[in-house]
Amino acid sequence: MKLVVVSAGLSVPSSTRLLADRLAAATAGRAAGAGLVDVHVVELRDLAVEIAHNFTNGFPGRALSAAIDDVTSADGLIVVTPVFSASYSGLFKSFFDVLDKDALVGTPVLIAATGGTGRHSLVLEHALRPLFAYLRAVVVPTGVYAASEDWGAEGLAERIERASGELAVLVSALVGGAAPAAPGRAESGSSTPTAGASGSSVPAQGSVGAREDGLRVVPFEEQLAALRR
């Protein structure tokens, strides 16, 4: 399983990179049951010049080309940007502008951002989520925003665990491994077959794929896998 982290932090050390590392560690821990997790980190700060040159000459440099290959071959993505002027940074947007428009189709993505104040938290919904929806990636329901006051406070660790759990479930399903339990749900689902009156096995009521009219509902992970083919 290949997990790629894109960090657009500019300073060293960077709170953006710190959040990226915590999300990657939590996701890798959740997805470990599906096999070895190979984590790659793309630091956009180191690629700024090559990204600019790509816009002017149309060709990626060696380091940028390697980063693009990592991102486009990922089983799952974690993307983290600092907030500038109430949106993602220009460097963050520029990197995703150089990707082919179909490069991320069906790829599970966890979106996250950092900022100096909690007033910028809606950047996840009005900027990041629409960007990756346009690229036809599959964005997990929970985004993670960390303001300066969130570090060490209650709530951030729980958001990290919930979002990473959602990403681990999607990625594990796509790579065909044993998917971890979804965050906040029991390990044993309602999809276990139960014996009917005739002794045959039938899906339990409310299970995935069971409908009163006899039609089969295609599980979400199968639909995602079809997009990646």
CA pseudo-torsion sign 204, 208, 212, 216: negative
pLDDT band at 175 (very low <50, low <70, confident <90, very high): confident
Amino acid (1-letter code) at residue 147: A
Bigger pLDDT: 191 vs 173: 173
- For residue 90, what are its two tokens? 């220009």
State the CB neighbour count (10 A cutoff) for residue 217. 10
Query: Which one, of 122, 46, 52, 112, lies nearest residue 77 by Cα?
Result: 112
Cα(221)–Cα(180) distance, rounded to whole angstroms? 13
- What is the helix (H) or strand (E) element at residue 7, kind and residue range? strand 2-7
Rg (CA), the chain: 20
Name the least confident of 123-127, 135-139, 177-181.
Answer: 177-181
Name the least confident of 11-25, 28-42, 112-126, 201-215.
Answer: 201-215
Name the least confident of 81-85, 93-97, 129-133, 219-223.
Answer: 219-223
Mean of pLDDT values over 131-137: 97
pLDDT of residue 189: 41
Asked whether residue 203 carries a pLDDT value surpassing 70, the answer given is no
Cα(153)–Cα(27) distance, rounded to whole angstroms? 21
Task: Indicate the pTM of the whole model.
Answer: 0.77
pLDDT of residue 212: 56
pLDDT band at 83 (very low <50, low <70, confident <90, very high): very high
Asked whether residue 186 carries a pLDDT value surpassing 50, the answer given is no
Cα(9)–Cα(36) distance, rounded to whole angstroms? 27
pLDDT band at 218 (very low <50, low <70, confident <90, very high): low
